[in-house]
C-alpha cells in the first residue's frame, strides 16, 4: 500500500509539471512555475532511526549499598549460572554484628530456659537489692528535681531584681538627660524655627514615654523634675509588685524611653550658638543613654538566658526522675517475677524477645547478603567495572550479563519525532548484515520517560521487540528501523512544499487557468514521502503550485 501511494504521488507530480507562457502585456515573459495535481490517496507517516540489536534479557547488576570490593569471582567472557557469586564487598563489621546477634539470641534462649525453671534464692536476693537501690535512686532524683526547680526560681528572681535595679538607675539617667536638653532648649531654641520645632517634637515623645506627660515639648525643668509616670512609673510599680510581667513591661518601656531621649538629643543641631560646655554635656548624655540601652538590653538577655537554662535543667532533672521511676518499676517487676516464678505471660514475652532477636539476626544476614553480588540469570559476562580495593557506589552497575535467548533493539529517537512514536506501534527492521531486502517485523515495546543527550541533541531511548524469533538475528547488529507512526487513506493529498506558512495561517497557491490564487488550508498528517494531508481548502484535481520562478 505504501509503494502504491508513492507511485500515485510521483505520477501526479510528473503529470502536473508545466512551464509558464508569455505574459499579457507587451510580450513580457510570465513567471515560471511547477505544479502538482491534488489527488485522493493515502498518507503514511514513519519515523526512521538507527539502532542496535541487544539480548532481550541483558541485565546490569549493581550493589544496593556502597562499599569497598574485597573479592571478584568472574571475568568478562565467562559463562555464569543463576545464583553464582560474582563479587563481594568488605563486610567484616557486619560479620562481627552477626556474631553479636547470634550471641544475643542465645542469651535470650537461656533466659527463657531460666524462666521456665524458676528463680533461685540468690536471684531473688539480687532482685531485692536492685529494687532497694532503685527506690533510693528515685528518692534522690525527686530531691534533685525539687532543688533544681527551687534554684531556677531563685536564679530567675535574681536576674529580674538585678534588671529592675539597673532600670531604676537608667530611668534617672534618662530623666537627667532630658533636664540637660531642656536647659539648652530654653537657652537657644525657644523660637519657632524648624530646629526648635524638631527638638520640641522629639522631646515631647521622649517625655511621654519616659515620664508619662503629654505635650511636654516646651515644659521647663521645674515641671519635668516632678513627673513620675511612663516608664519611670512602671519601674516604681514593678518595685512595689515584683510580678515578672510588670518587670518585663518596665524594661521594655525604659528601653523605648531611652531611645526616644537619644533621638531628642540628636535633634539638637551643631550650632555655633552652643557653648563648648553645652556640646560636651549633650555628648556625655548621649553616651550615657547608649550605655544604659546596652545594659538594659543585656539584662533582658540575661533573663531570657536564665529562662532557657532553667528549662533545660528542669527538663533534665525530670527526665532523670522519670528514668528512676521506670527503673524502679522494672526492678519491682523483676522481683515479683523472681518471687512468683514465671507466669505464662512472661514466658510468652520472653519468647517474643527471642523472635525479636531472631529478626535482628535475619536483618544483619540480609545486610551481609547485600554485600554479595550474584548472577540473576544464566548468561555470559560482557562487562566488569570493578577491581579489588575499589570503592563502589550504591546502584552503580558493576557487571553486565547477556543471555542467548530472545533479542530486542535499542534506538534513540530525536525529540522532534518522539511524539510520533507510541508503544505497540509496528516497525519494519532491516539489518546491515543482510541488506535492505530482508525485512524483520517488530513492535515498539517501551519508551524511556527521561531524555538522553547525545552530542547536544535530546533523544529518548526506545526499545523494540522482534515479533518472531530468527536465528539470523545476532547481538550487536546494526538495525535500520522504520516505525509506523500513523496512516490515513482516502484523503486529499498534496506535496508538503506547496504549503506556505504565514502568521495568519497556512496557504497553498493554485492555478486557475492562467491565474494564480492563494487559498487558506488546514493541514493534517505529514507523510514520510514528502506529501501532506489537506483537510480543508482545496479539492481533488486542483493544480497546486509547488514552485514559482522569475
Q: What is the CATH number of the domain that holds 72?
A: 2.40.50.100
Beta pairing partners, 482: 48, 428
Q: Does residue 94 lie within any of the structural domains?
A: no
> Helix or strand or coil: residue 435?
coil
Query: Are 76 and 209 found together in one domain?
Result: no
Q: Does residue 347 lie within any of the structural domains?
A: yes
Q: What is the pTM of this model?
A: 0.40
Residue 481 has what pLDDT? 93
Residue-range definition of the domain harbouring residue 75:
58-89+373-403
Query: Are 136 and 185 found together in one domain?
Result: no
Query: Are 456 and 540 found together in one domain?
Result: yes
Residue 16 has what pLDDT? 47
Residue 87 has what pLDDT? 92
Query: Are 295 and 207 found together in one domain?
Result: yes
Query: Are 314 and 331 found together in one domain?
Result: no
Query: Are 449 and 424 found together in one domain?
Result: yes
> Helix or strand or coil: residue 476?
coil
Q: 502-510 long-range contacts, Cβ below 8 Å, gap at least 24? A: 508/534, 508/537, 508/538, 508/544, 508/545, 509/544, 509/545, 509/548, 510/35, 510/538, 510/542, 510/543, 510/544, 510/545
What is the rounded CA–CA span in Å between residue 20 and residue 28?
11
Number of structural domains, the chain?
4
What's the CATH number where 50 sits?
2.40.30.170
Q: Pick the last residue of a domain from 386, 403, 420.
A: 403
Query: Are 128 and 62 found together in one domain?
Result: no
Q: Residue 248: count other Cβ atoms within 10 Å of its Cβ.
A: 15
Please give the radius of gyration of the chain, using alpha carbons only, rounded to the nearest integer: 47
Burial of 506 (0-12, 13-18, 19+ CB in 10 A): middle
Q: Does residue 459 lie within any of the structural domains?
A: yes
**Within 13 Å, how many C-alpha atoms sit on residue 483's CB side?**
31
Q: Does residue 516 lie within any of the structural domains?
A: yes
Q: Hey, which bits of 84-157 come out as E strands?
A: 85-89
- Which of 395, 403, 464 minimizes the C-alpha distance to 429? 464
What's the CATH number where 217 sits?
1.20.140
Q: Does residue 96 lie within any of the structural domains?
A: no
Length of the chain equals 550
3-state secondary structure labels for all residues of 164-201? HHHHHHHHHHHHHHHHHHHHHHHHHCCCCCHHHHHHHH
Q: Mind listing the pLDDT tens digit of every residue in the chain (550 residues)?
A: 444 444 445 444 444 443 333 333 344 455 677 888 989 888 888 889 999 988 776 678 888 889 999 999 988 888 888 788 999 999 898 899 999 999 999 999 888 887 777 767 887 889 889 999 999 999 999 999 999 999 999 999 999 999 999 999 999 999 999 999 999 999 999 888 899 999 999 999 999 999 999 999 999 999 999 999 999 999 999 999 989 999 999 999 999 999 999 999 999 998 888 899 999 999 999 999 999 999 999 999 999 999 999 999 999 999 999 999 999 999 998 888 777 776 778 788 988 999 999 999 999 998 898 899 888 767 788 889 888 989 988 888 888 887 655 678 889 999 888 988 987 788 999 999 999 999 998 888 778 888 899 888 999 999 887 877 788 888 889 999 999 988 888 899 989 888 998 888 898 988 888 788 888 999 988 887 889 999 988 898 988 888 887 5
Q: Does residue 484 lie within any of the structural domains?
A: yes
> Helix or strand or coil: residue 70?
strand
The set of residues, in sequence order, having a beta carbon less than 8 Å from that of 76 and lying 6+ positions away, is: 381, 382, 383, 384
Residue 183 has what pLDDT? 92
Q: Does residue 367 lie within any of the structural domains?
A: no
List the grid coordinates of 506: 497556512
- Which of 485, 514, 446, 349 minimizes the C-alpha distance to 51? 446
Query: Are 192 and 271 found together in one domain?
Result: yes
- Which of 74, 61, 97, 62 minimizes the C-alpha distance to 388? 74
Q: Pick the last residue of a domain from 259, 288, 320.
A: 320
Query: Are 22 and 109 found together in one domain?
Result: no
> Helix or strand or coil: residue 106?
helix
- Asked if residues 320 and 105 have their Cβ atoms less than 8 Å apart, the reply is no
- Asked if residues 411 and 464 have their Cβ atoms less than 8 Å apart, the reply is yes
Query: Are 181 and 203 found together in one domain?
Result: yes
Q: Does residue 95 lie within any of the structural domains?
A: no
- Which of 16, 2, 138 minimizes the C-alpha distance to 498? 16
Residue 8 has what pLDDT? 46
- Asked if residues 289 and 313 have their Cβ atoms less than 8 Å apart, the reply is no
Query: Are 297 and 311 found together in one domain?
Result: yes
Q: Residue 259: count other Cβ atoms within 10 Å of its Cβ.
A: 17
Query: Are 171 and 229 found together in one domain?
Result: yes
List the grid coordinates of 159: 536576674
Supply angle C-alpha 427, 432, 433, rounded to 5: 120
Amino acid at each position: 500500500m505504501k509503494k502504491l501511494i508513492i507511485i500515485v504521488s510521483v505520477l501526479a507530480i510528473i503529470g502536473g509539471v508545466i512551464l509558464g507562457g508569455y505574459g499579457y502585456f507587451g510580450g513580457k515573459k510570465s513567471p515560471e512555475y511547477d505544479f502538482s495535481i491534488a489527488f485522493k490517496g493515502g498518507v503514511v507517516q514513519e519515523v526512521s532511526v538507527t539502532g542496535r540489536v541487544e539480548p532481550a534479557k541483558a541485565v546490569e547488576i549493581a550493589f544496593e549499598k556502597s562499599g569497598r570490593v574485597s573479592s571478584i569471582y568472574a571475568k568478562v567472557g565467562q559463562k555464569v549460572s543463576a545464583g553464582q557469586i560474582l563479587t563481594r564487598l568488605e563486610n567484616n563489621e557486619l560479620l562481627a554484628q552477626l556474631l553479636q546477634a547470634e550471641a544475643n539470641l542465645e542469651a535470650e534462649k537461656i533466659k527463657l530456659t531460666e524462666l521456665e525453671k524458676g528463680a533461685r534464692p540468690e536471684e531473688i536476693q539480687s532482685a531485692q537489692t536492685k529494687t532497694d537501690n532503685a527506690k533510693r535512686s528515685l528518692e534522690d532524683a525527686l530531691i534533685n528535681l525539687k532543688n533544681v526547680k527551687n534554684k531556677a526560681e531563685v536564679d530567675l528572681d535574681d536576674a529580674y531584681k538585678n534588671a529592675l535595679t539597673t532600670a531604676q538607675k537608667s530611668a534617672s539617667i534618662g530623666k537627667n538627660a532630658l533636664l540637660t536638653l531642656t536647659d539648652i532648649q530654653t537657652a537657644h531654641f525657644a523660637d519657632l524655627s524648624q530646629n526648635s520645632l524638631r527638638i520640641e517634637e522629639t522631646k515631647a515623645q521622649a517625655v511621654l514615654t519616659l515620664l508619662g506627660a503629654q505635650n511636654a515639648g516646651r515644659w521647663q525643668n521645674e515641671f519635668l523634675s516632678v513627673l513620675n509616670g511612663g516608664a519611670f512609673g512602671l519601674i516604681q510599680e514593678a518595685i512595689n509588685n515584683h510580678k515578672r510581667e510588670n518587670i518585663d513591661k518596665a524594661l521594655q518601656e525604659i528601653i523605648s524611653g531611652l531611645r526616644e531621649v537619644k533621638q531628642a538629643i540628636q535633634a539638637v543641631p551643631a550650632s555655633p550658638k552652643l557653648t563648648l560646655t553645652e556640646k560636651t554635656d549633650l555628648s556625655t548624655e548621649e553616651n550615657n543613654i547608649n550605655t544604659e540601652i546596652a545594659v538594659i538590653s543585656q539584662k533582658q538577655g540575661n533573663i531570657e538566658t536564665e529562662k532557657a537554662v532553667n528549662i533545660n535543667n528542669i527538663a533534665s532533672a525530670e527526665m532523670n526522675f522519670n528514668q528512676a521511676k521506670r527503673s524502679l518499676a522494672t526492678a519491682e517487676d523483676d522481683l515479683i517475677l523472681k518471687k512468683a516464678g514465671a507466669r505464662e505471660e512472661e514466658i510468652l514475652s520472653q519468647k517474643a524477645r527471642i523472635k525479636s532477636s531472631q529478626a535482628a539476626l535475619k536483618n544483619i544476614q540480609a545486610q551481609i547478603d547485600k554485600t554479595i553480588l550474584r548472577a540473576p540469570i544464566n548468561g555470559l559476562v560482557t562487562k566488569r567495572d570493578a577491581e579489588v580495593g575499589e570503592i563502589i557506589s550504591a546502584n552503580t552497575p558493576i557487571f553486565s550479563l547477556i543471555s542467548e535467548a530472545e533479542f530486542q533493539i535499542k534506538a534513540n529517537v530525536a525529540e522532534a519525532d518522539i511524539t510520533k512514536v507510541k508503544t505497540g506501534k509496528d516497525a519494519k527492521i532491516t539489518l546491515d548484515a543482510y541488506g535492505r531486502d530482508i525485512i524483520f517485523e517488530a513492535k515498539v515495546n517501551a519508551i524511556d520517560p527521561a531524555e538522553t543527550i547525545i552530542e547536544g541533541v535530546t533523544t529518548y531511548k526506545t526499545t523494540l521487540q522482534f515479533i518472531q524469533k530468527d536465528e539470523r538475528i545476532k547481538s550487536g547488529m546494526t538495525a535500520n528501523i522504520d516505525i509506523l507512526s500513523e496512516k490515513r487513506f482516502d484523503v486529499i493529498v498534496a506535496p508538503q512544499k506547496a504549503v506556505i506558512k504565514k502568521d495568519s495561517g497556512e496557504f497553498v497557491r493554485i492555478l486557475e487557468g492562467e491565474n494564480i490564487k492563494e487559498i487558506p488550508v488546514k493541514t493534517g498528517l505529514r507523510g514520510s514521502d514528502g506529501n501532506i494531508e489537506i483537510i480543508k481548502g482545496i479539492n481533488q484535481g486542483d493544480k497546486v503550485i509547488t514552485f514559482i520562478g522569475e
